[in-house]
């Protein structure tokens, strides 16, 4: 089965303008993402999907695999669906354009989850939340799963609700006790191509509009999302603080 990675790279960002073109030690953020994706085994090609001529011109310095899309898309998924419509592939991995340290092994795991189970149409990733501050942070998206590690719900709120010791957990702990499992959703997705095209044609759903989480559209329409557990802790770049953290992380790896 042919598997491709597509990186949606939108230039305009309300919290950190031009973030995909910010410099990370001599290379742009999106180039770092692209090069990490190339390290994934069993991936046949990596593409960048953008609506920006500026991003296009910057990326042409290191790849020809750039697809210019319409500028009317409301989500990265819709942008990817347009980009892959004419690409010969079976599986598509969506890696965000602001994840310069994405682990190639995680990309491989998502691809394998769909290759090895023909009943699956979509997969994503999660890791255990360790800090109570992350539980309280509405920008940290949480996911709860069933016994087969299929997503039950995604939320910016804390799920599940720990009824018996809620106040103690939130007010008297800095780390989450080992006996409690809360998971952070990581914004990396795998889809079969037919499902991705179908998903992009579904109208935005009620819960999706409420939480501003497009993956809820999948659940509301009755489809399953397989969640892959990982130790990878995302260092996505959404704010100036994230950018400075990324620079510090690169410095520490020297």
pLDDT in tens, 39-65: 999 899 999 999 999 999 999 999 999
Q: Is the pLDDT of residue 142 over 70?
A: yes
Q: Determine whether 48 is exposed, middle or buried from the number of CB atoms within 10 Å of its CB (0-12, 13-18, 19+).
A: buried
SS (H, E, C) 105-145: HHHHHHHHHHHCCCCCCEEEEEEECCEHHHHHCCCCCEEEE
pLDDT of residue 254: 67
Distance CA 246, CA 156 (A): 24
Mean pLDDT along residues 102-107: 97
Closest CA to 93 of 179, 168, 102, 224: 102
Q: In the predicted model, what is the mean pLDDT of the chain?
A: 94
DSSP letter at 233 equals -
Q: Is the pLDDT of residue 141 over 70?
A: yes
- pTM (2 d.p.): 0.94
Distance CA 190, CA 163 (A): 34
Distance CA 85, CA 193 (A): 8
Pair 46, 27: CB distance under 8 Å? no
pLDDT band at 75 (very low <50, low <70, confident <90, very high): confident
Q: Where are the domains of the chain?
A: 3-252
Angle between the 104-115 and 29-38 helix axes, to the nearest 10 degrees?
50
pLDDT in tens, 206-243: 999 999 999 999 999 999 999 999 999 888 898 899 99
Distance CA 220, CA 233 (A): 27
Where does 11-61 have alpha helices with state H? Answer: 29-38, 53-59
- 181-204 core/surface letters (b: 16 or more CB in 10 A; e: else): ebbbbbbbbbbbbebbeebbeeee
Pair 218, 225: CB distance under 8 Å? yes
pLDDT in tens, 146-174: 999 999 999 999 999 988 888 889 988 99
Distance CA 196, CA 110 (A): 15
Q: Is the pLDDT of residue 69 over 80?
A: yes
φ and ψ of 184, to 5 deg: -95, 130
According to CATH, what is the number of the domain 3-252? Answer: 3.90.550.10
pLDDT of residue 238: 85
pLDDT of residue 165: 82
């Amino acid at each position: 089965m042919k598997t491709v990675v597509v990186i949606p790279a939108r230039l305009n960002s309300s919290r950190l303008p031009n973030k995909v073109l910010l410099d990370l030690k001599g290379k742009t953020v999106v180039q770092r993402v692209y090069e990490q994706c190339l390290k994934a085994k069993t991936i046949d090609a990596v593409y960048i999907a953008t609506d920006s001529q500026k991003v296009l011109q910057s990326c042409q310095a290191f790849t020809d695999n750039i697809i210019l899309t319409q500028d009317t898309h409301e989500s990265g998924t819709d942008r990817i669906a347009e980009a892959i419509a004419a690409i010969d592939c079976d599986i598509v991995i969506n890696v965000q354009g602001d994840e310069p340290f994405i682990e190639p092994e995680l990309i491989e795991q998502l691809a394998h989850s769909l290759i090895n189970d023909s009943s699956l149409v979509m997969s994503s990733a999660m890791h255990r939340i360790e800090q109570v501050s992350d539980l309280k942070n509405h920008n940290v998206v949480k996911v709860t799963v069933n016994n087969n590690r299929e997503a039950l719900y995604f939320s910016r709120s804390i799920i599940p609700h720990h009824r018996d010791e809620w106040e103690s957990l939130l007010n008297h702990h800095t780390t989450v006790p080992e006996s409690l499992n809360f998971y952070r959703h990581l914004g990396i997705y795998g889809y079969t191509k037919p499902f991705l095209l179908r998903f992009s044609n579904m109208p935005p759903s009620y819960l999706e509009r409420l939480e501003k989480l497009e993956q809820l559209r999948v659940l509301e329409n009755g489809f399953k999302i397989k969640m892959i557990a990982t130790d990878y802790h995302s260092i996505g770049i959404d704010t100036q603080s994230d950018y400075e953290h990324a620079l510090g992380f690169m410095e520490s790896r020297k």
